Homo-oligomer: A and B are copies of this chain.
Amino acid sequence: MELNDIYRLIEDELEEVEQSLEVVADVDSPLLAELLKYTLKGGGKRIRPALTLLAGKFHLYDSALLIPMAVAIELLHTATLVHDDIVDGSPVRRGKPTVSRAWGENKALLLGDYLFAKAGSLAASTGNLRIIKLFSQTLMAISSGELAQISVSFDLPGARECYFNWISAKTASLFATATESGAVLSRSPEATVQALKDYGHNFGMAFQIVDDVLDFIGEEVELGKPVGSDLGEGIATLPSILFLESHPEDSLIRGVFGKRNAESVPLAVDAIRRSPAIDECLALASDFCARACRALDKLPDNNFRQALLDLASYIVQRHR
């Protein structure tokens, strides 16, 4: 199933999100407008706003609240990408130069700050205090999670747990907020809110694991960035961790961490790619995906629930 088929139910709403993103980029300052257009226009799969919209379909859907919220979620996501690319020194994202590479780190930093503020302003426009508090807590989780991550040195055992905590903070928290906010803003009963939040969290965990697998097995042209870029930056994601759990003394992979040993990276990527670690990662992603789907068991069996189930399957199968 293609993403467009899954999105069919919320086609019009996603178009409104797209238009709202254009409005966000329509500001007086020419530089800010240029940066916003570059960052917000196309390229993204808009999965997070789609989740907010779908999660809003189970009770009293109100587009006046859900569209701004979906936009806020996408802006918060974009802001974290812009800042992440500074932190990681990434030259390329979605096949084009990152803002920090094209305009410099200073402008990227201030653009990210602006995007955080604009996202907060849109979340505030819903007038819902629970959502507003949730929104700032999500950014606290993301930034403190990233900080914790860059301060730990890789060490077995404990690496796997550390990785799960990290992706829970940096990725799953925003997916959980995306679905929770959709449910809350459509005034769903608390059980529905919790089910959709639970779905969002597990969806986010699966999403990040698959992303980290794709960094090893994907093609540069699809990834929009070089293969093995995490390993190249000395970052241990799940494939490296599972590989090292089976080969704790492997000097090739160990040599890469921390040292950014550029020459060994292709060899290390190849060793991991051909190891069972990849399938083990995908099995773990499938587990999270199954948990996400199970969370929806008690929701009404309608087209929107089916779309959420399809989206979860799509996410874990996009490596094929």
C-alpha gap A29/B139 in the complex (Å): 16
Contact B27 A144 (CB under 8 A): yes
Instruction: Chain B residues near A144: list those with CB within 8 A.
Output: 27, 29, 32, 110, 114
Stretch at the interface among A4-12, A119-127, A242-250: A119-127
Min CB gap A85→B, angstroms: 11
Contact B133 A121 (CB under 8 A): yes
C-alpha gap A30/B120 in the complex (Å): 28
A252 touches B (CB below 8 Å): no
Contact B87 A148 (CB under 8 A): no
A143 touches B (CB below 8 Å): yes
Contact B107 A147 (CB under 8 A): yes
C-alpha gap A125/B136 in the complex (Å): 11
Instruction: Chain B residues near A137: list those with CB within 8 A.
Output: 117, 121
Mark interface residues in A70-96 (1 if CB within 8 Å of B CB, else 0). Answer: 000000000000010011000000000
Q: Is the interface of A mostly helix, strand, loop or mixed?
A: helix
Contact A109 B87 (CB under 8 A): yes
C-alpha gap A150/B108 in the complex (Å): 12
Instruction: Chain B residues near A139: list those with CB within 8 A.
Output: 113-114, 116-117, 120
Which one of B107, B111, B113, B127 contacts A116 once the chains associate, using CB atoms below 8 Å? B113
Which one of B32, B109, B129, B135 contacts A148 once the chains associate, using CB atoms below 8 Å? B32
Min CB gap A129→B, angstroms: 6
A contact residues, range: 35 or more
Instruction: Chain B residues near A18: list those with CB within 8 A.
Output: none
Min CB gap A247→B, angstroms: 30
The residue on B at minimum CB distance from A116 is B116
Contact A124 B113 (CB under 8 A): no
Min CB gap A163→B, angstroms: 16
C-alpha gap A147/B107 in the complex (Å): 6
A302 touches B (CB below 8 Å): no
Q: A125-B133, A132-B124 are in contact. Are A87 and B113 (CB under 8 A)?
A: no
C-alpha gap A109/B247 in the complex (Å): 35
Please report which residues of chain A, range 27-68, place their CB below 8 angstroms from some CB of chain B when the two chains form the complex.
Answer: 27, 29-32, 35
The residue on B at minimum CB distance from A80 is B113
A271 touches B (CB below 8 Å): no
Instruction: Chain B residues near A150: list those with CB within 8 A.
Output: 106-107, 110
C-alpha gap A140/B150 in the complex (Å): 28
Can you list 9 A-B contacts (CB < 8 A)? A31-B151, A83-B110, A87-B109, A114-B144, A117-B139, A118-B136, A121-B136, A124-B129, A132-B132
Q: Return the 6 tightest CB-CB contacts between A and B, nearest first.
A: A117-B139, A120-B136, A113-B143, A121-B136, A114-B143, A117-B140
